[in-house]
Amino acid sequence: MSSDSQTALFIDGANLYATAKALGFDIDYRRLLQEFRSRAGVLLRAFYYTAVIEDQEYTSIRPLIDWLDYNGYTVVTKATKEFIDASGRRKVKGNMDIELAVDAMELAEHVDQIVLFSGDGSFRSLVEAVQRRGVRVTVVSSMSVRPPMIADELRRQADVFTDLTELRSKIGRAPAERSANAPMRRSTAIAKPEA
Start-to-end Cα distance in the chain: 36
Please check the confidence at residue 79 and state whether its pLDDT lies above 60.
yes
The CATH number of the domain holding residue 146 is 3.40.50.1010
Mean pLDDT of the chain: 86
Range of the domain at 101: 6-185
Q: Is residue 47 part of a domain?
A: yes
173 lies in a domain?
A: yes
In a domain, 195, yes or no: no
Question: What is the number of domains present in the chain?
Answer: 1
Q: Dihedral sign, CA of 96, 147, 125, 8?
A: positive
Amino acid at 170: K
Read off the amino acid at residue 87: S
193 inside domain: no
Q: Which pLDDT does position 129 carry in this prediction? A: 98
Q: d(Cα 43, Cα 76) in Å, to the nearest integer?
A: 18
- The residue among 58 and 106 whose pLDDT is bigger is 106
Residue 192 falls inside a structural domain = no
Q: Is residue 35 part of a domain?
A: yes
**Is residue 158 over pLDDT 90?**
yes
